[in-house]
Amino acid sequence: MTAQGRHFLQIPGPSPVPDRVLRAMDMPVIDHRSAQFAELGKAVLEGCQKIFKTAGPVMIFPSSGTGAWEAAIVNTLSPGDKVLMVETGHFATLWQQMAARWGIEVDFIPGDWRHGVDPAAIEAKLAQDTKRAIKAVMVVHNETSTGVTSRVADVRAAIDRTGHPALLLVDTISSLGSVDYRHDEWKVDVTVAGSQKGFMLPPGLGFNAVSEKARAAAKTNKMPRSYWDWEEMLKPNAAGFFPYTPATNLLYGLREAIAMLLEEGLDQVFARHKRLAAATRAAVTHWGLEVLCLDPSEYSPVLTAVLMPPGHDADKFRKIVLDNYNMSLGSGLSKVAGKVFRIGHLGECNELTLMGALSGVEMGLAAAGVPHRAGGVDAAMASLEERPTTNSPGHLKVVKT
Ligand SMILES: *Cc1c(COP(=O)(O)O)cnc(C)c1O
């Protein structure tokens, strides 16, 4: 195996950490009860509000995204509560299993792992629930196992049409900082996020952005909790502190990552992800392979899951790509294991990173003997030329003659 050059980490999280973020974290650990720490604490807590698009509090736990899932559940729900969830894929299934372990009764709307949340299905379920037994609607924004992004704004509108008081809990672990998301405008009650995907940080931070309604629910719900208790976290947070030792150096990285996202501009960040995703799909389609996501309005800007032709194993293919080209592609998870591979194009990723990744995929297809039409990389380049970068001056645009 040749390992010269930089490893291409093209999995949909953890995503590559920019050098700027790595350098920002290369700092001595400081006293987390000091005035110096409080400045850092306040900076990241306020900065997060801009990324989540909320005027309310955002909490940062030293945890993986799974921990932040748990925090959302134990602070808002009670054993025996009914909730509505949708089987969009592997991550929705894991969150559902977690809720069940906490004694929550989940109405899990089945899915085919190729579509996102159907707002009409949510609307119908809530409309039928005349006794208002459903306490929360819990959905995954970007289903990382399938490359399908659900339309959270439409889900919100569907809930509003029924006048149902259920809370809306959204997993944005792989979308926040990469896909348009608006906690306040979409009246989301709890937004769950993590550090290692769109935030471009190493794994280790979990986030909860919470509404007034969610905080009110936390005052009366009956789930035992301690480490994850929101009010215990919010009290010291008001002064920039944490109730226990925070992940200090990850917070240095977070401050830098927030600065990078805001310097580029969130709208430009979202446009870049869409552009890279469109180029990836152009390559996949040209190769004659199939994108797992079936609804163009739900294509993920973060990753593309690709179906292998029958008789070809996705994991064998991924191993050939890793061994030959030093690139990691995402595996198929649970139901689609061996059947799909996933190309991550999120966070620290630009046109040339993507072209390198797609070249590796195309060479890998040839090396693995997977039937395909050569030239997908050219198709991706053509797609990028058609959709000019929003952050380059117009006069630099390539004009085809
Ligand atoms: C990665 C991911 C998770 C799990 O996060 P961990 O940090 O691995 O605990 C949950 N949901 C989605 C949508 C994810 O992409």
> Is pLDDT of 2 > 70?
no
> Is pLDDT of 243 > 60?
yes
286 C-alpha to ligand 1 centroid (Å): 30
Q: Which CATH class is domain 8-15+265-395?
A: alpha beta
65 C-alpha to ligand 1 centroid (Å): 5
Res 387: pLDDT: 81
Q: What is the chain's percent helix, strand, coil content, to nearest 5?
A: 45, 15, 40
Closest atom of ligand 1 relative to the 195 alpha carbon: 7
Res 3: pLDDT: 76
Give residue 142's identity as a one-letter amino acid code: N
135-139, 203-207, 393-397: least confidently modelled range: 393-397
Residue 62's pLDDT band (cuts 50, 70, 90)? very high
Structure tokens at 363: 């060479």
Closest atom of ligand 1 relative to the 172 alpha carbon: 13
> Is pLDDT of 220 > 60?
yes
Instruction: Name which residue sits closest to atom 6 of ligand 1, judged by CA.
Output: 65
Q: What are the φ/ψ torsions at residue 62 (nearest 5 degrees)?
A: -75, 90
Annotated binding residue 225: no
Fold for 19-262, please state it.
Aspartate Aminotransferase; domain 2 (3.40.640)
Separation between Cα atoms, residue 2 and residue 326, nearest integer Å: 7
Select from 95, 144, 173 the residue to mutate for testing ligand 1; criterion: most ligand atoms less than 8 Å from CB: 173
40 C-alpha to ligand 1 centroid (Å): 26
Instruction: Name which residue sits closest to atom 12 of ligand 1, judged by CA.
Output: 173
How many other C-beta atoms can be found within 10 angstroms of the C-beta atom of residue 29?
10
CA distances from 76 to 62, 136, 223 (A): 20, 9, 8
Residues found in the chain? 401
Res 391: pLDDT: 53
Residues 6+ apart with CB under 8 A from 349: 15, 16, 276
Q: What is the pLDDT of residues 380-396, one digit of tens each?
A: 999 999 987 755 544 34
Res 396: pLDDT: 47
> Is pLDDT of 1 > 60?
no
Q: What are the φ/ψ torsions at residue 87 (nearest 5 degrees)?
A: -80, 80
Domain boundaries, the chain: 8-15+265-395, 19-262
The set of protein residues with a Cβ atom below 6 angstroms from ligand 1 is: 13, 64-66, 91, 140, 144, 171, 173-174, 194, 203
DSSP codes of every residue in 19-74: HHHHHHH-S----TTSHHHHHHHHHHHHHHHHHHT-SS-EEEEES-HHHHHHHHHH
**3-state SS, residue 82:** strand
Average pLDDT over all residues of the chain: 96
Structure tokens at 207: 């986030």
Res 165: pLDDT: 98
Q: What is the pLDDT of residues 48-58, one digit of tens each?
A: 999 999 999 99
How large is the average pLDDT for residues 221-244? 98
Residue with tokens 């006293």: 31
Res 141: pLDDT: 98
**3-state SS, residue 94:** helix
Res 4: pLDDT: 84
Identify the burial level of 24 via C-beta atoms within 10 angstroms of its C-beta, where 0-12 means exposed, 13-18 middle and 19 or more buried: buried
Q: What is the pLDDT of residues 75-117, one digit of tens each?
A: 999 999 999 999 999 999 999 999 999 999 999 999 999 999 9
User: In degrees, to the nearest 5, what angle opens at C-alpha 166 toward C-alphas 160 and 167?
Assistant: 100
Res 399: pLDDT: 47
Closest atom of ligand 1 relative to the 68 alpha carbon: 9
Question: CA 214, 240, 193, 221 torsion: positive or negative?
Answer: negative
Closest atom of ligand 1 relative to the 196 alpha carbon: 7
DSSP codes of every residue in 155-221: HHHHHHHHT---EEEEE-TTTTTTS---TTTTT-SEEEEESSSTT---S-EEEEEE-HHHHHHHHH-
DSSP codes of every residue in 267-280: HHHHHHHHHHHHHH
**104, 81 Cβ separation under 8 angstroms:** yes
> Is pLDDT of 400 > 80?
no
DSSP codes of every residue in 119-166: HHHHHHHHHH-TT--EEEEEEESEETTTTEE--HHHHHHHHHHHT---
Q: What is the pLDDT of residues 282-328, one digit of tens each?
A: 999 999 999 999 999 999 999 999 999 999 999 999 999 999 999 99
Closest atom of ligand 1 relative to the 203 alpha carbon: 7
173 C-alpha to ligand 1 centroid (Å): 6
CA atoms within 13 A on the CB side of 284: 23
**3-state SS, residue 344:** strand
Separation between Cα atoms, residue 202 and residue 18, nearest integer Å: 10
Select from 15, 138, 144 the residue to mutate for testing ligand 1; criterion: most ligand atoms less than 8 Å from CB: 144
Q: What is the pLDDT of residues 149-180, one digit of tens each?
A: 999 999 999 999 999 999 999 999 999 999 99
